[in-house]
Amino acid sequence: MSKKIFLSISLSVFMTGCATTTTPEKTVEAPQINDFPTRDRVEYVFNCIAKHGGLSGSKAFINQYACGCKIDKIAEKMTFEEYESAKTFSYLKKTPGENGAAFRDPKQSKDLRTRLKEADKYAESQCFVM
């Protein structure tokens, strides 16, 4: 029984120790490196797998991990807010006429779409998607 309590206390101390850095002057919260929600990661991975042959076949297992790797690499280059805006601009820029101009023409739209393309290219170079 005492081993379980000790293990539980040790684990909780270890876990909280990872979240903060203590300096003599103050305690500083560790920065949040990755703010992509799980739901959006899963959606990206499923879409990526479907794009590369689906869940059947010999490449399915490799692509699951490679697609997961890709969204991790994209998350290194963009915040979730930037990613979500870039994705929205990319989808809606295809709207024809004046309505689509609001999504195609602004500098913010062009910049975010470019950053998303660059992040995707970086992810492709880092992860082996078949």
Domain ranges of the chain: 38-126
pLDDT at 130: 67
Average pLDDT over residues 88-110: 85
Q: What value does the mean pLDDT take over residues 116-120?
A: 94
What the block records as the tokens of 30 is 């560790």
Q: Which pLDDT score, from 0 to 100, does residue 33 have?
A: 56
Q: Provide mean pLDDT across the span 58-71.
A: 84
Helices (H), the chain: 2-19, 38-51, 60-77, 80-92, 97-104, 107-126
Does the pTM of the predicted model rise above 0.85? no
Give the pLDDT of residue 21: 46
Q: Above 90 in pLDDT, residue 71?
A: yes
Cα 4 versus chain centre, distance: 36
Say if residues 73 and 121 touch (Cβ distance below 8 Å): no
